[in-house]
Amino acid sequence: MVPLVLIIGRWRKCHRALATCEARLRVVVAEAREQSAAQERERIYSDLHDDLGAKLLALVYGAESPVQADLARAILQDLRDVVTRSRGTPGTLGDVLADIHAEASQRLATVGIGLSWDAADDLPDPVLDSGHALHLHRIVREAISNTIRHAQARHLRVRVRVRGGELLLDLTDDGSGVPAVVSAGSGMRNMRSRAGELDGRIDWAPGTEGGAKVLLRMPLEAGA
C-alpha cells in the first residue's frame, strides 16, 4: 500500500505541473491574440494608406491652387503620422527636426514662400517617444499651415535653441501679423493642447520681421 505522505507529495507535484501548464497556456493565448491584433492593425494601416492615401494624393495633383494642394498634402502627412505612431517608430530629436525641416522646405517652396532654418549646433539629441515626436511635428505643421493659408507671407524663419533644459522653437513670418483672437481657431486650440501634452507652452506674438511669431517651449526630459 502506498503511504499517504507519498500520495500527497505526488498530488502536490502534479498540481504544480498543472499550474505551470495553465500559466504557459495563458501566455500562449495572449501572444496569439496580440499577434492576431497586430496583423489586423497592419491590414487596417495598409488599407488606409492604399485607399485614403491614394485619394489624397490625387487631390494634391489635381488641386486648383498651391494652397489647396498643400492642404491635401498636410492631411496625407497626418495620416502617415498616425500609422507611424501606432507602429511605435522611435526617433531622436535630431531625426524629428530633420523630418520637420524637409517637410517645411517642400511645403513652403511649393507655394513660393522662402524658408530660413536656423538650428543651434549644440542641440542635444535625446530619443523621443513616438507620441511626443508626433505632437512636436504636428505643432510645427499647423503653424506652417497658418502661415501658408492666412498670413500672406513671403518668408518664414524657423529657429531652434536650447535654454535651461528647454527646447525653444520659434517660427516667425513677415506676413499680416498675429490674429486678433488667438484662441479663435481650432488649429490654435489643438496647438495649445499638443503643447500641454509636451509639458510645454505655446505663445503668439508680433514677429521681428513684421508678421507673427509662434514660440514653443518644452522641457526636453518630458519627451525622452
- Residue 189 pLDDT: 87
C-alpha 6 chain-centroid distance? 63
Residue 147 has a CB neighbour count (10 Å cut-off) of 26
Question: Is the alpha carbon torsion for 123, 127, 132, 136 positive or negative?
Answer: positive
Classify each residue of 1-29 as buried b or exposed e, where b means 16 or more C-beta atoms within 10 Å of its C-beta: eeeeeeeeeeeeeeeeeeeeeeeeeeeee
User: How far is residue 202's CA from residue 191's CA, in Å, rounded to a whole number?
Assistant: 7
To the nearest 10°, report the CA torsion of 132, 57, 54, 150: 50
- Residue 220 pLDDT: 87
To the nearest 10°, report the CA torsion of 76, 215, 124, 197: -60
pLDDT tens for the 224 residues of the chain, in order: 546 565 566 667 766 766 776 777 677 767 767 666 656 666 665 555 556 666 666 666 676 777 777 777 777 677 667 666 555 555 889 988 998 998 899 889 888 999 999 999 999 999 988 888 889 988 999 899 888 888 888 999 999 999 999 999 999 999 887 665 454 566 788 899 999 999 999 999 888 767 889 999 999 875 55
Closest CA to 215 of 152, 151, 143, 122: 143
- Residue 85 pLDDT: 58
SS3 155: strand
| Residue 171: all three cell numbers together | 517660427
User: How far is residue 69's CA from residue 113's CA, in Å, rounded to a whole number?
Assistant: 15
- Residue 214 pLDDT: 93
Alpha helices in 87-212 (DSSP H): 93-110, 130-150, 186-197
* CA dist list (Å): 194 to 83, 132, 159: 18, 9, 19
Contact 138, 194 (CB under 8 A): yes
